[in-house]
Each structure stands twice: as C-alpha cells, then as structure tokens.
Amino acid sequence: MKIKPPRQAQEWSYFSHRESIGKALSSTCIRSNKNTHRNCGSSTRMAGNVCANGDQIRRQDRWNNTTINGEYLTNLPRELVRSMAGFPTYGRFFYTARAALNPPTSLCKKFPGDPIQPTVAEYASVQVIIMLRKTFIQDSVPMMEHHPCYPVWQHSIFSDPASLSFERDLLQIEA
C-alpha cells in the first residue's frame, strides 16, 4: 500500500466521498449493503472528530437523538479518549511534550529480523508500525510506565542502549 503525501485541504463532493469509502471497504474485502447511508456515518464521525457540537451535527444532518446515537456516532466519549491519550479535554489542542524529542535513526531502523508472514493482516500490521514507528517509539516510554507487565516490553529493542538513552531523555522532558 502506498501512502501519498497530504494535499491542500479541499471540499469533497458527495460522490467522491462515497466512492473513496467504498474503495476502502472493498480493498479490505468488507461488503456493505448500506450504500445509501455510508456517507452519513462517516461525515457525522468526521464532524465529531473536529469537535463539532452534537446539536449542530443533528441539525445539519436532520437526525433525531436515537438515530444519531445508535447508528452514526462512535460509542466512545471524545473527552475521555482525549484525556486518556494525554491531551487536554478542551478545544483542539494536540501537543504532547514527548513529540519534541525524535528517536534516534538507529532505533527507528530496528525491527525484528523475522520474515513477514504472507498473511494480509500481519503484513498490514507491520506496514502500520513502519509508518508510525516514530510515534510508536515516543509513546512506548509512557506506556512502559503505565503497563510494565506487557510482554512486548521484553523485546530486545527496548533493552538496546539507544532505546534506554532515548527513554531517559524523554522522561526528563516530560517531568
């Protein structure tokens, strides 16, 4: 899968939005017979992600409470998710101190030497980790503190001198 760099923000037409969601679903072999309402849930969740008020979304899309809550909005409260991720619950503030420190390149290049199994799920998981490796390494430090018993922390990459040095530096920044 190739990831294209982001383009200048532009408005999507109804057809383009619906077609892109359809392609994303079909590329993952997900079949849906709800073609008419495919955009409804997506656009409502997108509006929710940018902190649009629930009442505004209801008015814009003409939803009643039961329909919007049961079908189109996510079940997770946005404020809870933001606070669990380390962000303040107000506004559109997306900064964490750990983002200021980049992990060493040598650490980003270290991945297990095992060959990738030829299954779609495993290949896709590894591709996601490769794309998000900087964020994964940055976020692994606070995760190790909160969940020290996770088996993933036993991997040799987390006992590497570069990893230990990065961990010390990151803990100093966040202190």
**What residues in the chain have per-residue pLDDT under 70?**
1-12, 14, 30-78, 80-81, 84-86, 91-96, 109-122
Q: In this structure, what token pair is assigned to residue 28?
A: 């993952």
Predicted pLDDT of residue 64: 57
Q: What is the pLDDT of residues 21-46, one digit of tens each?
A: 778 777 777 666 666 555 556 666 66
Give the pair of three-digit tokens for residue 41.
């849930």
Place of tokens 């409502």: 44
Please tell me the predicted confidence (pLDDT) of residue 99: 74
Please give the pLDDT value at position 25: 72
Give the per-residue pLDDT at 137: 85
Torsion of CA 71, 72, 76, 79, to 10 degrees: -140
DSSP letter for 118, please: S
pLDDT of residue 124: 76
pLDDT, one tens digit per residue, over 130-146 is 778 888 888 888 888 88
**Helices 161-174 & 133-146, crossing angle to 10 degrees?**
70
